[in-house]
Amino acid sequence: MFFQNKKIIFLLFLLLLFNNYVFPKEYMFESFNEDSEKRWEFITDQVMGGVSFGKKELLEEKKVSFIRITGFVSIDNNGGFIQARRNLNKTDNKISNGIKLKLRGNDSIYYIHLRTKFTLLPWQYYQGKIKASENWEEINIKLSDFNRSGRLLPKRIDPSKITSIALVAFGREHKVKLDVEQIKFY
């Protein structure tokens, strides 16, 4: 009986020890309330001579707040992006394994760009691909699924070094409509 209790206690201890790996905790990063307008910056390729255009708006529908990015991405003049970006501070950065988004769109491909302390040049980032269907859905992107934009960046993302996150329409001519209700880190 004594040895059986020890085994149970040992198994419980292991479960508690590995709890974050087995059942990763989620942290709400952004739920797009009225203060979100100040935290999110809208950027287009016009900063480098491109002609893409658009806007970001904070909207509410059926008591649900979300950010909407609309516009048109053009590849003319070496352009090709529009984005809404938010910087992370030390208390924001609780990413350990990945990012969960609740989103919808125009049945198109969009991207999440992460910048780190190692992305010194404006065109450097880590990119995660997402598809935004016409209905609200949750999408998970593991940090290991992000691709670096160049060989000068470390292959793996160090979560403690992430400095910003961006919602991006990129790389091809298309109309943009992307709604994001929340962003969670896990």
- pLDDT tens-digit series, residues 131-169: 999 999 999 999 999 999 999 999 999 999 999 999 999
pTM for this predicted structure: 0.85
pLDDT at 1: 55
d(CA 48, CA 58): 26
d(CA 119, CA 175): 28
Contact 130, 103 (CB under 8 A): yes
Token pair, residue 58, equals 């904070």
Amino acid at 162: I
Token pair, residue 162, equals 């992430």
pLDDT at 3: 53
Contact 132, 176 (CB under 8 A): no
Other C-beta atoms closer than 10 Å to the C-beta of 104 total: 18
- pLDDT tens-digit series, residues 43-100: 999 999 999 999 999 999 999 999 999 999 999 999 999 999 999 988 777 889 999 9
Q: How many helices (H) and strands (E) does the chain have?
A: 3, 12
